[in-house]
Amino acid sequence: MNTVDLLFRYIKEPGVESSLGVVGAAASITVCLVAASAGPIESGAFAYQFAVSSMGFLTVATLLSLCMMSELLLKRQEIGTLRALGARRRVVMAIFLSKSILIGTLGSIAGIALRFAFTVITYAIGQPYQSGEPILRMLTVGSAGSIAAGLYAAIRASRMNIVETIRG
Partner 1 sequence: MNIEADAVKIRGLHKIFGSTVQLFGGLNITVKSGEFVAVTGPTGTGKSTLINLISGLDFPTKGSIEVFGKDLSKLAESERVSIRAKKIGTVFQKPHLLSRLNVIENVELPLIFSGSPEDGREEIAAEMLELIGLSKKKHLFPCSLSAGEIRKVTIARALATDPALLLLDEPTSDLDTSTIDILLLLLRGYNYLHNRTIVLATNSLKLAKLASREIRLRWPELVLEAIQG
Given 13, 117, 120, 130, the residue binding partner 1 (CB under 8 A): 13
Does residue 96 bind partner 1 (CB under 8 A)? no
Name the DSSP class of 129. Answer: P
Given 42, 43, 136, 167, the residue binding partner 1 (CB under 8 A): 167
Does residue 155 bind partner 1 (CB under 8 A)? no
**Ramachandran class of 131: left when φ > 0, alpha when ψ lies in -120 to 50, beta otherwise:** beta
| 56, 112 contact by CB (below 8 A) | no
Given 37, 62, 77, 105, the residue binding partner 1 (CB under 8 A): 77
Cα distance between residue 58 and residue 28, in whole Å: 10
The helices-and-strands tally (H runs, E runs) of the chain is 7, 0
Given 45, 84, 113, 120, the residue binding partner 1 (CB under 8 A): 84
Write out the residues near partner 1 by the rule CB under 8 A: 1-3, 6, 9-10, 13, 77-78, 80-89, 91, 162-163, 166-168
